[in-house]
Every structure is written in structure tokens, then in C-alpha cells.
Structure 1
Amino acid sequence: MYYGVLCLLVVVCFSHTLVLHSQGSSNSTIDEVALFSFKSMLLNPSDSLASWNTSSHFCRSWHGVVCSRGHPKRVVRLQLSSLNLLGEISPFLGNLSFLRMLHLGDNHLTGQIPPELGHLSKLRVLNLSANSLIGSIPVTLGGCAQLTFLNLRNNRLHGEIPAEIGSLEKLTVLQLRNNNLSGQIPLSLGGLTVLGALYLTSNDLSGEIPSALGNLSNLWGLGLSDNMLSGAIPSSLGLLSRLSSLTIGFNNLSANASSISVINLGHNFLHGVVPPEVGSLRNLERVVLAESSLEAKTVDDWKFMTALANCSRLQILDLGGNKFSGVLPDSVSNLSRSLIYLSVGQNRISGSIPRDIGNLINLQALVLSENSFTGSLPSSLSRLKNLRGLAVYNNNLSGSLSLTIGNFTQLIYLLLHMNAFSGTIPSTLGNLTELLQLHLGYNNFTGLIPKEIFSIVTLSEFLDVSHNNLEGSIPQEIGSLKNLVEFHAESNILSGEIPSTLGDCELLQNIYLQNNFLNGSIPSPLSHLKGLTTLDISNNNLSGTLPGSIADFRALKYLNLSFNKFVGEVPTVGIFSNDSSFSIQGNDKLCGGIQTLHLPPCSLQLSKKKHKIPVIPITAATVATLLLLSSTYMLVACHKKRKAKIQSTSSMEGHPLISYSQLVRATNGFSTNNLLGSGAFGSVYKGELDGQSSENTNIVAVKVLKLQNHGALKSFISECEALRNLRHRNLVKIITACSSIDPTGNDFKAIVFEFMPNGNLESWLHGDTHELTEERCLNLMARVTILLDVAYALDYLHCHGPSPVIHCDIKSSNVLLDADMVAHVGDFGLARIPDEQSSVLQSSTNSLGFRGTIGYAAPEYGAGNTMSMHGDIYSYGILVLETITGKRPIGSEFREGLSLREYVQLGLQDRVMDVVDMRLSLDLTDGLQTANDSSYKRKIECIVLLLKLGMSCSHELPSSRLPTGDIIKELLAIKESLSMEYRVR
């Protein structure tokens, strides 16, 4: 390394000597030495520069070098783009005093831009784009008075944009996007009266957009998106009404601006309304204002939409990801017939979709998703024959789908999920022969799945008919979708067998069929799906043995076979070797498997079959004796059973029992209208107890155990045992319990808790978007407070309660929120009390197999280790990451083997905001009236600390995880830092 630097210094010093010597000789020597100096600073001169040698004159045969005709020994153009050049730019290029164009774009050049380039007074074009240049933009470039084209995009430049750039009066194109430039946009840029294109996109610029930009009367392209700009859009931009059809060129290297007019201000922190003056820009073709905080609340605020009807060339209008509310005006239907892309997604717009929106006959993409639109899809949509993408998901749309939806024959994406559409799914969807994605999930569709859907052979990326009321069987025609990657049909009332033709979908990676009434066995042709990564067929009526071929799926990452009727031996290889990757609970007739499953050995069952039972002669006396013994046994057993019930429930000290009939009245007969949620071991109902005078106990939550499910009784006992002596502000409060017999003679057990009116954390993080109003979105302070509440609860359970308790199932659905948004940890059905001498469970208590929830459970649990407090900390760490990212730890969000921890780890490498929950990102700047860099950066620092806390708590090595006391200290420090910011706001 030292030797290479020394050689470079010798070359540069030698070149400098030649330059000094050449001042007394011919002018050609100056340019030649400058070129040799440039080559000497390249680490890998390509073959293209092989001609750069002393055997030929640089003006005649050197690649990329063009000399002046009037001054044949002076270089006027140096064009060396796209040659994979690696090294630094020599400052001696500043001696090429006749140079008019310097084009070194699309190489691998490093180092800083030499300030000496500012000496090139004749330079017209400077293109250093798409390299790896660092440092700041030299202020000396203001000396290039003839410069018309400056392109420094796609580098790593930082610092502020020099105000001296504003002195380049002939500049027509300024391209600085995709750097790390900061500071404010210089006011001096408003003096560049001939400027046609200004692209500052994807930097870290802050402050307000200067109103002086309204002076740029020849501007045809304005790109300011993906920065940190704040304030309102200046109405002065409406003065840019003389946009020219301008072609700016120099030797075919600069932009062809013919009839192009663009405004791109998206992905900033802009707020306020869009000025109606924008409609004065008659030549506008693209308006991108996405992902900011722009608003429209009243009819007047939407006037800009009416004004945009004057822009007859408008092709793209993107208003997505803002705070537009109220009703989308009918004037949107009067926009230019040239419009091909319209997006108002991710806003707060209500009311109906304008009925004449079909007037936009050339529209190719219509995005209305994630709003609060109501009513049905307007019939005029059928006029949009060129539509390629229709996204209306996450709204409150209803009604049935018209058969005319089959007229969209060019559709590639049809996204209708998470609405209230009803009726049957139209068979005319089969006409959409170019469809790649079809999302119909989370609606109220009824009837059969039309087999015509499966004739769309292009359907490859996604097919979702989940969470509806579809019935019947899955059509065998599904096998026609050879290229389908993901199939969702879960949570319907489908019956029949899993079609064997599913195995013909050769590229299928994810199958979700859970929560239906499917029967039969797992079809053997599924073994053809070698790329399968997720298979969830839980909560059905499937039976038969587990095919050994499942163990051969090398790509399989998640397998859920729970709550079916499978029998026989569980394999021990492949995915079945890691019990954190699969679930088989609720299948009582399975045996074998890995040791941590604690299933009965299959060998015992086989040995019983091998031994013949001796034949005993049966006499009347024998029968009478057996009857007498059995009757006596039943009486004793019943007595013990009743006694056990009394003992088990009376152990709930301080919690009086309640009768079955009282709970029936309280829950209106356990009505589905009162159902709050359902899990593996129980269902929770909202109820109102009679005669409860205690404050806030009249409305309760009743957890009714599903005793028919394996492990539910142990769950009930565990929860009672764990909660009977626990008292803490951040633990769910138990009011009473019930252990009785229902009218059919079956055992009935229930626990009554304090009702939590704000539901659970999971619903706030992942609930339906149309439910997530401004009041239903958690800001950063609220999330930190909830995480601190959970940490306090864990600290009490582990260190300060009557006896240590390991929760074993910390997750967002078990974090309940009361009326004041105080978090309470609930669901102690898997909780265990460790040995007095240890923080881990005694082995005898680990009899239910894998504990916890896949995605939250510690990795050591999958290896058969006993439960420990370290495991709770791991789950808490995942909860922290989920709370900040808004991403579930498992499921379809993390395909290709990527975990939530790996996702966050990538984000911590200089792109934190890419992994933060979008709603949280918007909140970080909500309410900022002026630029406030320190405030924003402090919040970002808090987010980074939270993500790092989650990573530390979920460390793979248990001993490396933080104790609860340290967690609380870190969260208190973060909360204190945020308190100042929210007090200021």
C-alpha cells in the first residue's frame, strides 16, 4: 500500500515538473501532460486507453480525445464515459484551458472533484455522473462561466449546494440527484433564468422550497423528491407558465427536453394545500407529490384538482401517501384524456368514487387504495379499456362486482382486498388473460370459487381469495396455473379435499388453506412442489398419515398442520427436525417425532399389537363383578373429579367463583357478536356481569377454554396458578373464574378478566387500514410507552413478584391496552414457575413440547432447551422490532428466508427509515411548521436506539440478552429524550 502511494506521488511530482518546464515551450505540452497525469492516477487504465502513449499524437489517435480545429494542439473534448475507469480525477485537467466538454460519467472514479476544474472558463458540459465521488461540490465551479450542462448525479457527494452555482447564467440543466447533499436549496438558483431542468432528487436537502424558483420561466423539469424539504408548496411555482418545448444539446450528450414538463416534489415533509396556481402550468405532463404531508380538508382545498384540468398534456398525477381527506371532487373526471396514471392512495379520502371517472379513457393505472371510500365501484370504470392496474384495497367499498369487470382485458394487477364486497365472484374474471396478481381477500364474497379464474395462465405472482365466505371445494382446474407462486384461500368455509392438481403448480412457494373444513389426506402430488417454503393447512378436518415427502422439502421454512385429525408417526428429518419451524398441536393421534415434541413413542403402540391378549372365559358372575367394580370406580372418580374442581378453582385466592349461567347471561349466550378473539386453547368474549358494583368491572372479558383441544386444561391450570398471587399495574387483572358443567354434561372452565377497551397491540400495528384513523395510529411516544409498560411487567414477573414467573408467550396479541392506552400483559396459559435455585424451568415442567409462538419464541427452544427468562427477553426483543417496523415476525412479509432481525439489521446499515413503519415515519414530521433538523434527527436517533435495543434483546446467545432492569433504563432515557420533542409540539 505504501509503495503504491509513493509511486503515485512520484508520477504526480514528475507531471508537475513537466508542466512547469512546458511553460517555456509549446502549448501542446500542457494538454499532453495533463492527459498523462489523468492516466497516471487511474488504478486500472482500460484497454480503451492503450492508445494513450508517446508513439502517437494525442490529438490524432488517443481514444476519447478531440482537439480544436482552430487550435489543433488544444483539447476541446474529453469523452471517457462507461469505460470502467477506477481511480481519482487528476487536478491537472484544470490546465485544459480550451476544454468545452468533460464527460467521465458511468465509471468507478473515487476521491473528490478537483477544485482546479473551476479554471475551465470555456467548459460548457461537465458530466461526472454515476461514479463514487465524495466530498463537496467545489465552489470554484462558479468560475465555469460558459457552463450549460452540469451533471453530478449518482455519486456520494455531501455538504451544501454552493451558492456560486447560481452565478452560472447560461446553465440550462442542473442534475445533482442521488447524492448526500444537505442544507437548503440556494436562493441564488432562482436567478438562473434560462434553466430548463433542475433535479435535486434523493438527497438530504431541508428547509422550504424557495419561492424564487418561480422566476425560472424556462423550467421544463423540476425534481425535488426524496429529500427532507418542509413548508408549503410555494404558489409562485404557478408563475412557471411559459414552459418551453426546449431541446438542449451539446454533441448529443445533454438532455433532450422536447415537450417535457415535470414537477416532482414527492417524498418530503411538505404540508399545507396544493396551490391552485399549479393549474397554470399548461405544459405539465407529470406531477408527483407523493409521500409528504399535503392536505385537503375542505372543498376549497381541492381546487387544485379543478385547475389541473387546464393541463391538457398531463399524463401522470401521483398524490399518494399524504393527508388528503374529505371527498374526492368530481372534477377529477375532467382531467386530461392523456392521463395514464392516477394515484390518490394512502390518504384519508372518504365518500364515493366519482361516478364519471371512466371519462379518463386512456388511464392505465388507477390507485385509490388505503382510504375510506364507500359505495360501489362506478359503472363508468368499464370504459377504461386500457387499464393495466386497478388498486382499491383497504377501503369500505361494498356491493357486488359487475360482470363488466371482465372487460378489463389488459389488467395485470387487480387489487380489491380488504373491503366489503359481497355476492359471488364473477366468472368473467376469466377474461383477464394478462393478469399477474388477483387479490380478492378480506371481503364478503359467497358461493363457489369460479373455475374460470384458473384459466388465466398468466396468473403467477399472487392469487388471494382468503377471508371470505366461499364454500364448496377448491376446483381441480387450479393445476393450470403452472407459474403461480402464492395461493391464499384461508378462512373460508371450503370443504372437500385438497386438489391433487395443486402439485402441478410447479413454481408454488406459499400455500395458505387454514381455517376451512377441508377433509381427506394430504395429496401425494404435493411432493412435486420442490420450491415450497410455506404450507399452512391448520384448523381443518384433514386426516391420514403425514407423507414422508414433506420432510424432503428442502426449501420449506414454515409448516402448520395443527388442529386436524392426522394419525401415525411424525418424521424426524427435514423441517420436522426443528420444532420452531412447524406446528402439529391438536392432532392427538400422532406419535414419535423429535424428543422435544413429547409425543408417545410409536414403538409402544406397535408392541401392543404384537402381543396377543389371552382369552378369559366370561361367565355371568364375571360380568356382575365387573359391573360392580366399574360402578364403584365411576363413583369414586366422580367424587375425586368434583373435589379436584373445587380445589383447582378455590386456589384462586381472593377471586370468588362465578356460575356457568351467570357467564351465559353476561355474554348473551356466548354470542358471536360478543366474540373478541379466538386462539388454540380458548375463545374470548365480551360480557357484562350482573350485580358487580366494583368500578370498571361491569364490562369484562371472558376466556372460555376449549377443553377438547390437547393442552387446554393444562393451559387453564397454568394461567390460574400464575395469576392467583400476581398484582401489577401492567398485568391483566383477573376478576373471577368458573369451573362447572355445561348443559350437555361436559366440563366447562373459564377465566374472567378486566375488559380492555382498546384491544391489543397487534390490532393497532396490523389492523385493517380503514380502521387506522389518525386516532388509531400510534406515534413514537405511544409506542415507547407501551414497550416500557411491557418491560415493567416482565421485570415484575422475573424479579419482583411473589415468585418468579416465565411468561413463555410474549407477543403483540398478548399486550392489551386499557382506556388510557396503558399496556397490560395477558394470556398466561403457557406460563411456568422456575426452580427456586434457577432462572430456568425444571425439566418436569416442560411437558407440553414447544412453547410460545413461532417467530417470537427463542431459537434455543427449538433445540429442546427448557424454558427460561432469557426466552421471554428474546420474545420481547422481537416485540420491540415489530412495534417499530410494523412488520409481523413471520408470514408472507418475509419471503426468501429473510427474518425480521435480518430485515432490521439491513436497515441499520445507513437506511433506517426504509424499515420503519410508514405510519410512524409520517408521524415524525407531523405538525412541523418550519424546518427543525435537530428535532427530526433526535427522533431518528431514538428509533435507532429502539431497533438496537430489540436486536440486543433478541440476540441468538441467551446470555447476551439484556436483563429487564437494563431494558427499563434504556427505555426511560429514550422516553425522556422524546418528552422534550412532544412538549415542544
Structure 2
Amino acid sequence: MALAMRVMSLLPATIAVMIAAASWGAHGGASDEASALLAFKAELAGSGSGMLASWNGTAGVCSWEGVACTSGQVVALSLPSYGFAGALSPAIGNLTFLRTLNLSSNWFQGEVPASIGRLARLQTLDLSYNAFSGTLPSNLSSCVSLLLLDLSSNRFHGRIPVELGDKLTSLQKFSLGNNSLTGAMPGLLGNLSSLNYLDLRKNHLEGPIPHELGSMGGLQVLLLHDNRLSGVLPHSLYNLSSLKKLGVGDNMLSGTIPADIGDRFPGMEALDFSSNRFSGAIPPSLGNLSALTKLVLQENGFIGYVPSALGKLQSLTALFLGVNRLGANDSQGWEFITSLANSSQLQVLVLGNNSFSGQLPNSVTNLSSTLQGLYLGDNMISGNIPINIGNLVGLTVFVMGNTSVSGQIPESIGQLRNLGVLGLYNTSLSGLIPSSLGNLTQLNRLYAYYGNLEGPIPSNLGNLKNVFVFDLSTNRLNGSIPIEVLKLPQLSWYLDLSYNSLSGPLPIEVGTMVNLNELILSGNKLSGTIPASVGNCISLVRLLLDNNLLEGSIPQSLKNIKGLALLNLTMNKLSGSIPDALASIGHLQQLYLAHNNLSGSIPKVLQNLTLLAKLDLSFNDLQGEVPKGGPFANATHLSIDGNDELCGGNPQLHLAPCSTAAAEKNRRRMSRLICSDKEAMVQFISALYKTRELPQL
């Protein structure tokens, strides 16, 4: 039956081939090409397979979708982005007059058929952005007319066939990027003397870069980043004066950059040496690369000062120098900031995680109004944030976290109306939060934790309608939590106001944060009851209200937060019983209720919390039998100290059996009653005696 179904599924393609053969029987070449194309179609699947309705026996192949002919011969098959899936039929090798084969941006799978090596006239082969796998067919080297070979963004593995570098001497563009190729780069690639574009990025290539690449005199683009290449850059590469883009980032390359690099590449536009092991100083000659738009040197071991000569790069749009050992101090080293004011196209400046110290010069506010990203964090910068920082009106990201900057946040920061990320965390900033911060209506992430900010949280921060991260934790803020902040419509990642001196009740408006994942209010002076509206925060994963002055009962409405994984109510004044409703929170992994005034028994239904890995009920007034199942089965997951009237449970807890405990409880009660009776009798006799001794009137 299965065989019959398979035969039936092939009938349409078979009939089409027979019709085509009959229609062009007088022209053998056309018939062969039609058969090859229909065999190609028969292997197709996916959403785009129905787009080849014109491929039938009623019209000539030259009118078919994606087919181009010269003198009646098929010379091009171009079907990019059609949504095709399936395998590439070996019949493709029968289109011997083919010059262009473009099947890019589809979902083809399997191996590239070896028959493709028969296409000796092929000039363009573009199979990029598919799901082809297997090794690269070495007989691609038989396609000696190739000018463009693009197999990037597939799933090829294995080595690069050396034959490709030996035979494809006319190749101009060669791209194998974003695959899983391994082994060393073949030195024979240096024979591709006509090549102007070589892309081998995002593979697993290893070993040194072959010096033979320096023979590609016309090479303009060399992309080798995201591999495992090691050793030093061969000196021959610096002879490739036609290079416009050189990317060797994310490898294990070492050595220094030649002092005269800026005199070797007059047309260089983008230079990426990032995430390697380069060392030494940054050569001032880089300032001679007048066409340079992007310079990426981050995550290396560069030392010394940043050369002021970089300010000559008037076309520069991005300068990445982060994560090195570059420095500056109050007396020298900051001059480059002043010079970069000449780079009028600068959009991104990354200096984070270096050894810059001293006062950030005021000249930073003279940088281009096109500057969008300014990263200065993880340095030893001190002093105040320049008062005119608001001049950088194009900023979308401003980060000075993990520095020693002090003083107040400048009022002018409110002029950065395009700002999306503000990072002023772990600093010595003090004083009030400027109300102008409420002008940053495009802000989506506010990080100002670990500082000395004081005073109330400005209510106009409720204007930050796009913010989804709001973190002012570990400062000296006081006053109440502004209702306006709780109503921020996009607040979704987390709201962290912990470890301040905020007081007053938790407003019922907390329930408006229906998209919030984390609410962290630990370590304040919040009082009153936990509002039932907190149960409306149905997206919460972490809720931390510990170390406050909250009282009353634990709200039953918490059961509505089905995805809650962590609940911490430790160190408050909560009373009443532990609600059974907590057992409805099936994703709960950590529950902390210690150091409260909770009473009653531990609900047995908490045994149903099978994901619970930590349960802390210590130092309350709980009593009765401790459950044994679920999270109670492992004593290392459970803390119940300071509840003297608990009994039973897992033997590892070393609690008295509940029967003994009950008897002891009754004995203590009877003892108290007997003592009470004796005391009453003594008092009665004493009173009687004293009555008898009263003098007669």
C-alpha cells in the first residue's frame, strides 16, 4: 500500500516530464532541460512550491517562472526567497548551459549534489541562507567559470576543499560564512588572484591565517571573524592596499598592530580587531585612515593613551575601545575626547571597562549631536557628570555605571529626550533625583541603583511611559511610593526600589502592573497590609516584600499569580495562618515567610508544591504536625526553627512525635492549672487568717 501511494505521488511530475518530452521532442536540448527542471520541481516542498504553476508542458521552458534563456538554452535559474523546501535534485547538473543559479533565502535541505560540478559554464552560484548540510563538494572546483560562489548561512561542516583555491582562479566573490566548517584555512586560497570579497566568518576554522592570502592583490573585503584562528596576523595582509573592510574579531589572534597601519590601507572603511589577544599601544597612524567609518578594538589588551590623532577621522561613525587597559587621568590622556569633536559623524563611542580615571572633561559635551551611544562605565572616572551633558541631544544610550562619579545628576539630563537607556548604577551620585528626568519620555531602561540618591521619588517619573526596567534600589530615597510609577504602562521586566527608606502603605495601585515580571521592594519601611490587588499582577515571577513593617494576613489573592517562582515576605509583622491558597501557585520554587507572627498549622496542601526547593517558615508561632510529603521530605530544603510547638514531620528534623508533644502540652497545661489552684487556696486561707486577726470594733 505504501509503495502504491509513493508511486501515485510521483505521477504528476512523471506525466509533466512525458508531456514536456513530447512537446519538444524535435529539439533534444530543450527536452533535456525541461526534464531537468521538472525533476528539480518534483523535489520541492514548502509554501512556495505552488508558485511554479507555469512549469508545465503547454509552454516553452524559457517562459517559465525564474528561468532565463539565451538562444533557446536555459542560462539562468533564479528563484530566491520563494519559500521552497526539500532537496536540490541532481538533475540540476543537466542544465549544462547554466550561467546563473540563485536559490538563496529558501529552505533547501540535504547535500549539494555532486552533479553540480558538471556546470562548467556557471558564473554565479548562490545557495546562501538555506539549510544545506554535509561537506562542501570538492568537484565545485570543476565550475571553472565561477565568478561568484556564495554558500553562506547554511549547515555545511568539514574542511574547505583545497581544490577550490587551486581551480577557481576567476572567482571574484567567495562566501562560506555562517556555517560549521572546521580545520585550517587552505593556503591555496591565495591563488584566487581575482578575488575581491572573501567571507569565512562564523565558522570553526582554526590555526594561523595563511600568509598566502597576501597574494590577493585586489581583495577589498576580508571577513574572518568569529572563528578559532590563532597566531599573529601575517605581515603580508598589510600589503593588501585595496582592503576596505578587514574583520578578524572574535578569534585568538595576538601580537601588536604595526605602527604604520594607517599608511597601508588608504581606502579602509571598517577595521575590526575585537575580542582577541592583541596588545601594545593603539598606533596614532590610524588617524590617517581618512575613509574609516568603524574602528573596533574592544576586548583586547591594548594599553596607554588613546591617540588624539583619531580625531582626524571625520567619517568615523563608531569607535569601540571598551575592555582594554587604556587610561587617562586628570593631567593627561583625555585629549582625544576634545579631538573627537572633529568627528562630526560619530554615533557610538565605547570606552567602558578600561582604566580611565580623573574628571571626565567638559569637552565631552562638544561631541557630535549625532552621537547616540556613550559608554563610559566600569572605569575609575571621578568628579561630577559635566553639567552640559544635555548638549548631546542625539543620545539614546548613556552609561556611566561602576564609576566613582559624584555630585548630583545634572538637571540638563532632561534635555536628552531621545534617551532610551540611562545607566548611572554603582556610583557616588547623591542629592535629589532631578524632576527633569521625567522629560525622558523615550526612556525604556532606568538603572540608578547603588548610589547615595536621597529625597522622594519624583512623581513625574510617571511620565516615563515607555520604561520597562525601573531600578532605584540601594539608595537613600524616602517618602512613599508614587502611584504614578506603579501605573507605568510598559513596566514589564522589573521594578526594584529595594533597600531605601520608603515608607507608608503599599498602594492598591500595585495591581495595575499586570505585565510586570519582578517586583522588589525589600528593605524599606513599608507598613500597613499587603493589598489584595497584588493578586492582579498575574505576570509576576518574583515578588520580594521582605524586611519591611507589613502587617495583617497574607492575601489569598496571591493564588492568582500562577507563574510566581519566588515569594519573600520574611521579616515583617504578618499574622494569621498560612493560606491554603499558596498551594495553587504551582510554579513556586522558593517561599520565605520567616520572622513574622504567623500562627496555626502548616497547611498540608503545601505538599503539592512539587517544584518548591526552598521553604523557610522559621521564627513564627506555628504549631501542630509538620507535613512529610513534597518539599517537606527533604530537610535541607526546609527551615522551621523558632516554632516551638511544631511536631512530627521528617525524622531529619528531629522534632518530637506529635503524640508525645501533645501529652507534654497537656501535662504543662495541667501543671499550670494545679499551680493555679494551689495559689488560689493559699490566697484564700491567708485572707481568712487575716480576717480572724482583725481587731474587734
TM-score range, shorter chain: 0.7 to 0.9
1:406-445 superposed matches below 5 A: 406-445=414-453
CA contact (8 A) 1:211 1:236 kept: no
Distance 1:166 1:85, change over 3 A: farther
**For residues 361-401 of structure 1, what are the alpha-carbon distances to aligned partners after superposition, in whole Å with 9 as ceiling and x for unaligned?**
22111111223322221234221011111011122222211
Q: Give 1:565's aligned amino acid.
A: K
CA contact (8 A) 1:93 1:116 kept: yes
The residue number in structure 2 matching 1:756 is none
Distance 1:331 1:380, change over 3 A: farther
The residue number in structure 2 matching 1:510 is 518
Secondary structure of the structure 2 residue equivalent to 1:844? coil
The residue number in structure 1 matching 2:508 is 500
Distance 1:435 1:274 in 2: 35
Distance 1:217 1:75, change over 3 A: farther
How many Å apart are 1:409 and its aligned residue?
Answer: 1.4
Whether 2:240 is the aligned partner of 1:216: answer yes
Which residue of the other structure, out of 481, 494, 503, is the alignment partner of 2:488?
481
Q: TM-score, normalised by structure 1?
A: 0.54
The residue number in structure 1 matching 2:318 is 316
Whether 2:606 is the aligned partner of 1:710: answer no
The residue number in structure 2 matching 1:539 is 547
Secondary structure of the structure 2 residue equivalent to 1:358? helix
Q: Give 2:513's aligned amino acid.
A: C
**For residues 265-303 of structure 1, what are the alpha-carbon distances to aligned partners after superposition, in whole Å with 9 as ceiling and x for unaligned?**
33445444444443332211122333x32321x33xx33
Distance 1:192 1:114, change over 3 A: farther
CA contact (8 A) 2:562 2:585 kept: no
**For residues 813-847 of structure 1, what are the alpha-carbon distances to aligned partners after superposition, in whole Å with 9 as ceiling and x for unaligned?**
xxxxxxxxxxxxxx9x99xxxxxxxx971552799
1:689-838 superposed matches below 5 A: 710=619, 808=636
After the TM superposition, which of the residue ranges 129-138 and 445-454 deviates more from structure 2? 129-138
The residue number in structure 2 matching 1:878 is none
**For residues 101-143 of structure 1, what are the alpha-carbon distances to aligned partners after superposition, in whole Å with 9 as ceiling and x for unaligned?**
2211111222334455455454443221111222344455455
Secondary structure of the structure 1 residue equivalent to 2:430? strand
Secondary structure of the structure 1 residue equivalent to 2:310? helix
Whether 2:53 is the aligned partner of 1:50: answer yes
**For residues 852-902 of structure 1, what are the alpha-carbon distances to aligned partners after superposition, in whole Å with 9 as ceiling and x for unaligned?**
xxxxxxxxxxxxxxxxxxxxxxxxxxxxxxxxxxxxxxxxxxxxxxxxxxx
The residue number in structure 1 matching 2:171 is none
CA contact (8 A) 2:565 2:589 kept: no
Gaps of 5+ in 2: 166-188, 608-615, 622-633, 643-649, 659-697
Which residue of the other structure, out of 344, 357, 362, is the alignment partner of 1:355?
362
Whether 2:376 is the aligned partner of 1:368: answer yes
The residue number in structure 2 matching 1:329 is 334
Which residue of the other structure, out of 391, 403, 411, is the alignment partner of 1:403?
411
CA contact (8 A) 1:148 1:172 kept: no
1:258-657 superposed matches below 5 A: 261-290=269-298, 292-296=299-303, 298-299=304-305, 302-303=306-307, 306-325=308-327, 327=329, 329-335=334-340, 336-361=343-368, 362-459=370-467, 461-485=468-492, 486-574=494-582, 580-595=589-604
Whether 2:192 is the aligned partner of 1:168: answer yes
How many Å apart are 1:413 and its aligned residue?
Answer: 0.9
Q: Give 1:337's aligned amino acid.
A: S
Distance 1:317 1:118, change over 3 A: farther
Radius of gyration: which is bigger? 2
Distance 2:259 2:56 in 1: 58
How many residues get paired? 588
CA contact (8 A) 2:535 2:559 kept: no
The residue number in structure 1 matching 2:182 is none
Distance 1:566 1:342 in 2: 51
Secondary structure of the structure 2 residue equivalent to 1:421? strand
1:882-961 superposed matches below 5 A: none
How many Å apart are 1:591 and its aligned residue?
Answer: 3.1
Distance 1:577 1:63 in 2: 57
Distance 1:121 1:188, change over 3 A: farther
How many Å apart are 1:537 and its aligned residue?
Answer: 0.8
Distance 1:528 1:560 in 2: 18
Distance 1:40 1:369, change over 3 A: same
1:102-117 superposed matches below 5 A: 102-114=101-113, 117=116
The residue number in structure 1 matching 2:629 is none
How many Å apart are 1:27 and its aligned residue?
Answer: 4.5
Which residue of the other structure, out of 655, 673, 676, is the alignment partner of 1:844?
655
Distance 1:264 1:592 in 2: 65
Distance 1:846 1:395, change over 3 A: farther
How many Å apart are 1:425 and its aligned residue?
Answer: 1.0
Distance 1:398 1:846 in 2: 60
Whether 2:69 is the aligned partner of 1:67: answer yes
CA contact (8 A) 1:384 1:408 kept: yes
How many Å apart are 1:450 and its aligned residue?
Answer: 1.4
The residue number in structure 2 matching 1:199 is 223
Distance 1:230 1:568 in 2: 66
How many Å apart are 1:94 and its aligned residue?
Answer: 4.4
Distance 1:114 1:515 in 2: 66
Distance 2:327 2:145 in 1: 48
CA contact (8 A) 1:152 1:175 kept: no
Secondary structure of the structure 1 residue equivalent to 2:562? coil
Distance 2:397 2:217 in 1: 40
Distance 2:101 2:260 in 1: 35
Q: Which has the higher helix share?
A: 1
How large is the RMSD of aligned CA atoms in angstroms?
3.9
Distance 2:264 2:124 in 1: 25
Distance 1:208 1:58, change over 3 A: farther
How many Å apart are 1:469 and its aligned residue?
Answer: 0.9
Distance 1:200 1:468, change over 3 A: same
CA contact (8 A) 2:596 2:620 kept: no
Distance 2:366 2:318 in 1: 16
CA contact (8 A) 2:106 2:130 kept: yes
Distance 1:499 1:201, change over 3 A: same
Distance 1:711 1:506, change over 3 A: closer
CA contact (8 A) 1:330 1:356 kept: no
Distance 1:430 1:495 in 2: 22
Distance 2:57 2:606 in 1: 78
Distance 1:525 1:367 in 2: 40
Distance 1:268 1:41 in 2: 45
Distance 1:140 1:377, change over 3 A: farther
Task: Select the structure with the greater relative contact order (CA < 8 A; seq sep ≥ 6).
Answer: 1
Gaps of 5+ in 1: 245-260, 599-679, 682-708, 713-805, 811-826, 831-838, 848-985
Q: Give 2:223's aligned amino acid.
A: Y
1:2-151 superposed matches below 5 A: 26-28=28-30, 31-42=33-44, 46-59=49-62, 61-68=63-70, 72-114=71-113, 117=116, 120-142=119-141, 144=143, 146-151=145-150
CA contact (8 A) 1:575 1:582 kept: no
